[in-house]
Amino acid sequence: MFEIQIPCFPDYELIDSGDFEKLERFGAHVVRRPEPQAIWRRTLPEEEWRRRADASFLRDARSDERGEWRLGSRMPSRWTVEYAYGGMRLRMRLGLTSFKHVGIFPEQAANWNFIYDRCTQLRAAGRTPRVLNLFAYTGGATLAARAAGAETTHVDSVRQVVSWARENMELSGLDGVRWIVEDALKFVRREVRRGNRYDGILLDPPAYGRGADGEKWVLEENIGEMLDCCARLLEPADSFLVLNLYSMGLSATLASTAVRQAFGPPAEERFGELCFDDASGKRLPLGTYYRLVR
């Protein structure tokens, strides 16, 4: 079933979008960043964008990804936001990175809710779910699983990012996450050889990346093997998978086809786009998601 999901996240607001940029509020602070999918015109005038932005990202002319931030006088180097759903109370530290990111992808809150609900249901059935989060970044999905009582393994190849995720765990009043600094594909290959199983697997792969030892990740080249490995790691019944795709041009239908080939027909599946509407009603797609339940 195809669905557009727009999470309710009071500490986040998409104020305006257009001309390949977005103006966003994270908690008490407003940032201005590039957004390649905002192909329409902005609603607010340039003067208003400049007035409201506490920090603006300036892309390096030599790089499509890197750049630097121009900071206003009231902009701190670090600040926090909060997110609540059901019995889940998350608190996450944000910061301005040279890759234009701030530490969370707020559209992922829709997936956090799903993860929390599935793990809560498994707990209610008398099971302690084992959840594996791959390409786990600063750990929003990890925290959602842990908040629901899951035994959670967090895998990312960047040590500083794993430390950031650990900080978010502590800020959220949680503990007990298993932290792994390693290339995700190398880790799942080893888990398959060991015969390990998980009740939930979360996949948030980048288009391109490097592992902890320089391993090269190219989504189109490696996603097939990754899904095959995950299909062998996921329990055959009462289990779930969440896959995110951020690369432009990769559709929800493509995700469904690739997952079905690896995992077989699901008991349930949902896929679509994660979006936010700006204050003028312009809907900005921010990623493709796919969820499977066995």
pLDDT, residue 63, reads: 65
Q: What would you report as the CA-atom Rg of the chain, rounded to the nearest whole angstrom?
A: 19
Return the ∠ at Cα 94 (arms to 80 and 156), rounded to 5°. 125
Please say whether the beta carbons of 94 and 83 come within 8 A.
Answer: no
pLDDT, residue 250, reads: 76
Q: How far apart are CA 124 and CA 223, in angstroms?
A: 33
Rounded to two decimals, the pTM is 0.95
Q: Any alpha helices (H) in the chain, and if so which ranges?
A: 46-52, 109-124, 140-147, 159-171, 184-194, 219-233, 252-263
pLDDT, residue 271, reads: 95
pLDDT, residue 187, reads: 97
Which residues of the chain register pLDDT less than 50? none
pLDDT, residue 228, reads: 98
238 in helix, strand or coil?
coil
pLDDT, residue 211, reads: 74
- Domains, the chain, ordered by start: 102-293 (3.40.50.150)
